[in-house]
């Protein structure tokens, strides 16, 4: 699975499982992936990480549950990868290339998502899975989506997306920022 043979497959499998399982807890793709990545890398009890987690909630469901923005799983992965670099506002102000480097790594994950799921935009990923998309802000559409989720909970497509995005984000962090991991 990993494109980098130096990364332990067990860690990546754990990342996938967390990304898959955490979606049941919050039913929100962006914070699911962010938390699953951070927990896999040993940041479960980090107060700063837990504060950043709060900022990912609104990125869910294609941003604000509108489905027209970036898939929340991709947004959560981007947030985790960005956080792993540790750059401050001042770092980026002094050296713009640092921001470009972060974006390049995020884009690697985005390309993998496009390869597997056809797109990084929420509504397009939905079309890939179900041949239609749901505007979660529409109560009727939201109820239809939740009903579908309840009926297929153990094999719901969004779980696979959050699992994959968590795995790929952890893989990229370990490839580009191995010192970020607190795992022993």
Domain annotation covers residue 64: yes
CA separation (Å) from 33 to 37, 49, 98, 128, 143?
Answer: 6, 13, 23, 20, 23
Domain annotation covers residue 101: yes
Domain annotation covers residue 4: no
Domain annotation covers residue 61: yes
Domain annotation covers residue 117: yes
* DSSP per-residue codes, 10-38: HHHHHHHHHHHHHHHHH--HHHHHHHHHH
**Residue carrying structure tokens 């709060």:** 54
| Crossing angle of helices 72-85 and 96-117, rounded to 10° | 150
Question: Model confidence over 149-180: pLDDT tens digits?
Answer: 888 766 689 999 999 999 999 999 999 999 99
- Find the mean pLDDT for residues 32-41: 98
* Under 8 Å between Cβ of 122 and 113: no
Domain annotation covers residue 91: yes
56 vs 183, more confident = 56
Domain annotation covers residue 2: no
Question: Model confidence over 105-143: pLDDT tens digits?
Answer: 999 999 999 999 999 999 999 999 889 898 889 999 989
- Find the mean pLDDT for residues 15-27: 94
Domain annotation covers residue 172: yes
pLDDT score for 49: 97
For the record, the structure tokens of 58 come out as 């609104």
Domain boundaries, position 89: 9-178
3-state secondary structure 131-175: CCCCCCCCHHHHHHHHHHHHHCHHHCHHHHHHHHHHHHHHHHHHH
In the chain, the number of structural domains is: 1
* Under 8 Å between Cβ of 142 and 51: no
For the record, the structure tokens of 39 come out as 């927990």
């Amino acid at each position: 699975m990993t494109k980098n043979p130096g990364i332990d497959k067990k860690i990546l499998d754990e990342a996938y499982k967390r990304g898959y399982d955490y979606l049941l807890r919050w039913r929100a793709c962006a914070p699911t992936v962010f938390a699953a990545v951070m927990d896999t890398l040993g940041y479960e009890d980090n107060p700063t990480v837990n504060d950043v987690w709060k900022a990912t909630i609104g990125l869910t469901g294609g941003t604000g549950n509108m489905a027209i923005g970036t898939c929340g799983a991709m947004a959560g992965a981007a947030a985790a990868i960005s956080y792993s670099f540790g750059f401050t506002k001042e770092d980026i102000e002094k050296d713009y290339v640092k921001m470009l480097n972060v974006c390049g790594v995020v884009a690697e994950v985005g390309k993998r998502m496009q390869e597997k799921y056809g797109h990084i935009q929420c509504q397009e990923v939905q079309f890939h899975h179900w041949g239609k998309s749901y505007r979660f802000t529409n109560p009727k559409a939201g109820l239809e989506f939740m009903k579908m989720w309840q009926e297929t909970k153990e094999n719901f497509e969004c779980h696979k997306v959050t699992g994959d995005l968590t795995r790929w984000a952890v893989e990229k962090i370990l490839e580009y920022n191995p010192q970020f991991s607190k795992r022993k």
